Amino acid sequence: MNKPDWDSVEKSLRHEFGSCKLKVDGIALTLSCVVLNRRLVIAWFIDGQFLGKWLNGDCIEGQKFARPSIKKLFSEKERKEFKRLGIKGMDKEITCYYWSWLSFQSLKRHLLKTCTDIEIYYD
């Protein structure tokens, strides 16, 4: 996709209930603007459906389209206390996957990073 294509996708997702269909690596991906907690977010669907199993990190679909968020298991204060006590290995992280994107630019960057063939899909 080129810049005018990305601009048209972004424009279609600017308003409430806007949607756009993309063909990403042979998969029909629908991006839809929805309201979540009084905020507009971009939700993604594959072939018009969403399955929760895509968010557990094992599925290719989740790794390609879900929003990853890396969280520390313990707070900075707790990690300092563990270090002071001589307990090692408490700086572990966990990756959570979310079904919605907060901004179009972060979604675009993620798609460009994880997918090879992206084009606008017309029915």
Domain boundaries, the chain: 3-120
3-state secondary structure of 2: coil
Give the separation between CA 121 and CA 106, rounded to whole angstroms.
21
Q: Contact, 97 vs 56, CB < 8 A?
A: yes
pTM of the model: 0.80
pLDDT at 123: 60
Convert the pLDDT of each residue in 3-50 to its tens digit: 888 898 888 888 888 889 999 888 888 999 988 888 889 998 988 888
Convert the pLDDT of each residue in 58-110 to its tens digit: 888 888 888 888 999 899 999 899 888 988 888 888 888 888 999 999 999 99
Helix (H) or strand (E) holding 46, with range, is strand 39-46
pLDDT at 110: 92
pLDDT at 122: 73
Question: For residue 14, what is the DSSP state?
Answer: S
